[in-house]
Chain A
Amino acid sequence: MNEHLTGAAPVDAPVVDESTIVLGVETSCDETAVACVRGGRDVLSSVVSSQVDLHARYGGVVPEIASRAHNELIIPVMARALLEAGLDGEDVDAVAATTGPGLIGALLVGVSAAKALALAWDVPFVAVNHLEAHLYAGFLEDPDLQFPMVVLLVSGGHTLLVHVEDHGRYRLLGQTLDDAAGEAFDKVARFLGLGYPGGPAIDSIAMSGDPEAIAFPRSMLGDGLDFSFSGLKTAVVNHVRANPQVATEDVAASFQQAVVDVLVAKARRAAEATGAAALALGGGVAANSLLREQFLGACAEDGLHAFLPSREMCTDNAAMIASTGWYRLRRDGATPLDCGADPNERLATT
């Protein structure tokens, strides 16, 4: 982890209040995003340029292609975010950027651009952890969201259960021991010839399949709050090889059901174990329709305040970076300008 995230002394103590406008920059994977957020909550603009088409033929994100595209898109996206917010550079009070985790070459484009803006406008720079930002995405849409809560963060790169006790206080309850949930969707979709990205492809074809057709394993359902998805992927491959005539719709639907069952069961158990009153979903996989439906059902049954971000807030965006940057600036002050990026940056947990 970077030193600057462990509470190095603030560079100076900027006044951070409801009128403070933070410009956020996000380039950790394959979305080039810039947003302007006032007071940590009021989204003035949120521009996301997806590179998904550039990577589709390779069946996954290619780091060098992503880095080149970020470098080409960063200025136009930045210009549009300011324009849509109706702001000039002088109106921005701080600049935040994702410093990790993510693809190092991609991260460095955003960090470099953000530090340059902070230097030119003479405003504080704030380093933001991408995972922490996903936890904050909920606040942007639900002002009633309260601590403590449990967040299930599921994306192509991560599968985490986090107990959010307060601003900046996170306890990691469980995580994947191998593949991330989104990664499992991509790999299975690729194997089934459904294309990339795998999440939406499986989501849509599964609608016409039977989720009970094949009894795929519910990995580690009984043990603790960690996840494992690589065995499930292998089970799908083995089943299709052994039954070449099987309907792809049924395989997709049964696979999706197995993933969602495990995710929802563990999220519920985490809420129960911590006594949290609210359960939130985050990350790209949170856009999956079966997961959304079963998550809401479970929360209703258990009497939990459910929070489901919109699709825009689930997937990578810079509004969540700007929002987290506002909270972080208020709590810890600015990040020194000699900070870099850390591809493996962890969420600071208690």
Chain B
Amino acid sequence: MLILGIETATTQVGCAIGGHEGVLASVHAAKGRRHAEYLVPSIEFACERARVELSEIGVVAVDVGPGLFTGLRVGVATAKSLAFALRVPMIGVSSLDLLAFRVRFSGRLIVTTVDARRGELYYACYRQVPGGVQRITDHLIGTPDDLASELLASGEEVLLVGEGAQRYPEAFDGLAKVELVDTGDSYPSAEALVELAHASALREQFERPDVIEPIYLRRPDAEINWAIRDGR
């Protein structure tokens, strides 16, 4: 079963095609947040490189965030419209899970991060289990300093991953047991998306296109302001 993976949760745009033989082709571009402009041509290009017709795709997988709201909506709207038009099922995977997948061979506590803007990070914690890693927290949002205090309090050896934390190295400088990975693997990748989705596809964990939505973790400002004014 061929899977098309679409990833737009950060400033990077990516897509990949693969299946049981692994990833056949992938395209990534990270320039200027032009998700809507790059994504569909990237999919066409990946299909060409993989020598696959779009009609051969059996599953559309998408990174559902957390991440950049507009980027996520471009990715999710594109992915679900493709799945709808091709009449195939979908698989949604979190951006933080994708980051953890790349460092799944570490025995340390894995903490993955995505930039949430406004001085905050989206993050989640993972532990190694047989065959991969397992998320042991919800998707969370907080400042780099909040996260640093949590990590210090845990007293554990930590592998800290992702462009979110990389943006605030000073927050994690003084933590002896925390290694901030600052090379490669800092963006969620479309290849990891295809690999993770393949595992879900084998277990037939599919979703319908009309129910796949981004993980926002933050309410719209207007709603928050309204709630404050209204005392809710």
- A residues contacting B by CB (< 8 A) are 57-58, 62, 64-65, 67-68, 70-72, 74-76, 78-79, 89, 104-105, 108-117, 119-122, 337-341
Contacts and interface: CB of A to CB of B under 8 A. Distances in A.
Majority secondary structure, A binding face: helix
Closest A-B pairs by Cβ, 10 of them: A120-B85, A116-B81, A64-B220, A112-B77, A113-B81, A62-B222, A75-B210, A340-B37, A112-B78, A116-B78
Interface in B44-100: 44, 54, 69-70, 73-82, 84-86
B82 A75 contact: no
B170 interface: no
A68 B37 CA distance: 20
Interface residues of B, number: 36
B213 interface: yes
A337 to B, nearest CB: 5
B38 interface: yes
B41 to A, nearest CB: 5
Given A105-B69, A119-B54, A75 B214 contact: no
Contacts of B43: 119
Contacts of B21: none
Contact of A119 (B35, B38, B40): B40
A195 B27 CA distance: 49
Interface in B192-232: 209-210, 213-214, 216, 220-223, 226
A68 B85 contact: no
A115 B199 CA distance: 29
Given A75-B81, A113-B77, A340-B37, 4 more contacts: A72-B213, A108-B35, A108-B70, A120-B82
B113 to A, nearest CB: 23
Majority secondary structure, B binding face: helix
Contacts of B210: 75-76, 79
Nearest to A107: B36
Contact of A112 (B36, B41, B54, B216): B36
A58 B70 contact: no
Contact of A337 (B35, B44, B81): B44
Contacts of A104: 70
Contact of B77 (A74, A89, A119): A74
A109 B73 CA distance: 6
Given A74-B81, A113-B77, A119-B44, A64 B54 contact: no
A295 B82 CA distance: 45
B226 A58 contact: yes
A60 B67 CA distance: 26
B221 A105 contact: no
B34 interface: yes
Contacts of B82: 116, 119-120
A122 B82 CA distance: 11
Contacts of B216: 68
A78 B44 CA distance: 23
Contacts of A122: 54
Contact of A338 (B38, B76, B80, B220): B38
Given A75-B210, A119-B54, A340-B34, A67 B73 contact: yes
B76 A71 contact: yes
A31 B56 CA distance: 34
B70 A121 contact: no
A260 B189 CA distance: 56
A273 B82 CA distance: 49
